[in-house]
Amino acid sequence: MPETAGFQLGDLKNSQDPYAILEAARAKSGAVFDAGGSWLIFGHAEGTEVLRNSSTRSGFIADGFRRRLPAGAAQDEMAHRINFLDPPDHTRVRRLVGKAFTPRLTASLRPFVETIVRDLLAKFPEDEPVDFVHDFAHEVPSLVISELLGVPVRDRDRLTQLSDQVSRLLGTDNTEDEMSNAIVGAEEMHETLRALLAERRAQPKDDLLSALLAAEDEREKLSETELLSLAATLYSAGHRTTRDLFSNGLTALLPRPDFIAAIQGGELPVAAVVEEFLRYETPTHMIGRMLTEPLEVGGHKIEPGQYIGVLLAAANRDPEAYDRPNDFDPWRWTRKPEPPAPLSFALGAHFCVGASLARLEVGVMLEILLQTFPKIRLHDAALSWHHTGVFRGVDSLPVILGPRS
C-alpha cells in the first residue's frame, strides 16, 4: 500500500474528516510523493498532467481483479468495467457507448427529472424530519438511471441495493465479509441484468439497453460480458455517485442561508453551486493509474508500470489551484478568471461518460428543492460519513423542509 511517513491510502477508509488527513499528507509530502516505486499525487496541476497524458492506463486494475476474484460475475464485471479498460478495447467500447449515450439523450431527460423531483417533494411533510439521503437524493438518480436503461419497476429497488453491495469491491482493505457479500451481490445483479438483456433482444424498446444492443461500429458489437459489466457500471455509478454528490453538497450549503438566498434570488447560478459541490465534497476521492511512457511530474520522473494514486479530493482542495480551498464558496465559479475545473469526473480518455447527466440531475434537484421549500434547514448538524477508501458519502441527512412556497 503506497504510503508517506504519516499517510497511507488505507487511512482514508472509515475516516470522518479525510480532508484533514490529506492536508497533513500534502504538507509533509508536497504535490507529488514517491512512495518507494509508487506515486501519490496531491496537486491539481500534477493530477491533470497525469490524467490527460496519452500514455495513462488503468487496465492494471482490471488485471488485479482477475487475479483476486474467483471466476464469476464479480470478476467479469470488474475485469471489463469501461473505466478499467485500455486501448484498443476502451476505444472500441467507449465509441459504441457514445453512439447510444448521447448529449441529446441526456438533455431530453430534463422534463422527466423535473417530474420525479416535484412528485417526490409533494409527498414530504413540512415540519417533520426527512432523511434526504434515503428519501430524496437516493430516489431521484435511481429512478432516472432505471428509466434511462429501461429497468422495470419490479427490479429497481433490488438492483439499487445490489449495486451498492457490489461497489464495496472498489474500496480499499476490504474484509472477507465485504468481499463475500459483494461477490454474492454481483451474481444476483448479473442474473437480473442478463434476463433483462434477453427481453430487450427479443423485444427492443426506446431505452439505453436496447440502444447498446443495437450499437455497431465496423461490425463490432459489445460482447455479453461487456454488456453486463457496462449495464452494471452505469446502474451503479448512475445512482450512487449522483446521490452522494447531492447529499454531500447539501451538508455544506444548508448551513449557509446567504448562499440559499442568493440562489433563490437569481444572483448565484445553480450551475456554480453544483460545480462547488463537485470541488468541495466530491464523492470519489481517489483513482489509480499507470503510464506506458516515462513522464516528469512536479520535478519527479515517473516510470512506466509504477502505480500512481491520484487523490482527487486533495487536488480539488489544492491551494495552488483554488483560493481558500477549504472554504465552501460557490461564488468562485462566477469570478474571472474562473478557477480550473475540479477533477471529480477525472480527465482524458476516461472522463466520466455520465458527467453531464449527473450535473443535470443535481442542478434540477437543487433548483426545484429551493423553489419548493425555501426555508429548508438541517435537523441535526451531527453527521456520520462512510468512506470506503475510494468513495465518500454522508450516511443520512435529516432535514426540516419548512413551509412550501
In the block, cell 436496447 appears at: 210
Domain presence at residue 190: yes
* H helix intervals, 123-207: 132, 139-149, 153-166, 176-202
Q: Would you give the DSSP letter of residue 320?
A: T
Tell me: pLDDT of 6 over 80.
no
Per-residue pLDDT, 101: 78
What distance in Å separates the CA atoms of residue 58 and residue 37, rounded to the nearest whole number? 17
Is residue 279 domain-resident? yes
If you ran DSSP here, which 8-state letter would residue 172 be given? S
Task: Give the pLDDT of residue 380.
Answer: 78
82-129 pLDDT tens trace: 999 999 999 999 988 888 777 788 888 899 999 999 999 999 999 899
Is residue 231 situated within a structural domain? yes
pLDDT tens digit string along 315-370? 999 999 999 999 999 999 999 999 999 999 999 999 999 999 999 999 999 999 99
Q: How confident is residue 212, by pLDDT bands cut at 50, 70 and 90?
A: confident
Residue 405 lies in a domain: no
Prior bond to 339 cis, omega within 30? no
Omega before 294 within 30 of 0, i.e. cis: no
pLDDT (tens digit per residue) in 161-180: 899 899 889 887 788 898 99
Mean pLDDT score, 39-45: 96
Q: Please report the pLDDT score of residue 5 as a whole number.
A: 46
In this structure, is residue 344 part of a structural domain? Answer: yes
Q: Kind and range of the H or E element at 56?
A: strand 56-57
Query: Is residue 4 very low, low, confident or very high in pLDDT (cuts 50, 70, 90)?
Result: low
Task: Pull the grid cell for residue 177.
Answer: 465479509
Q: Please tell me whether the overall predicted TM-score, pTM, comes out greater than 0.85 for this model.
A: yes
Task: Report the CATH number that the domain containing residue 162 is assigned in CATH.
Answer: 1.10.630.10
Structural domains of the chain, count:
1
Q: Is residue 4 part of a domain?
A: no
The residue segments making up the domain with residue 179 are 9-400
**Which of the two residues, 167 and 246, has the higher pLDDT score?**
246
Answer yes or no: is 2 within a domain: no
Q: Is 45 part of a structural domain of the chain?
A: yes
pLDDT for residue 108: 87
The DSSP result for 358-395, as a single string, is: HHHHHHHHHHHHHHH-TT-EES-S---EEE-SSBEEES
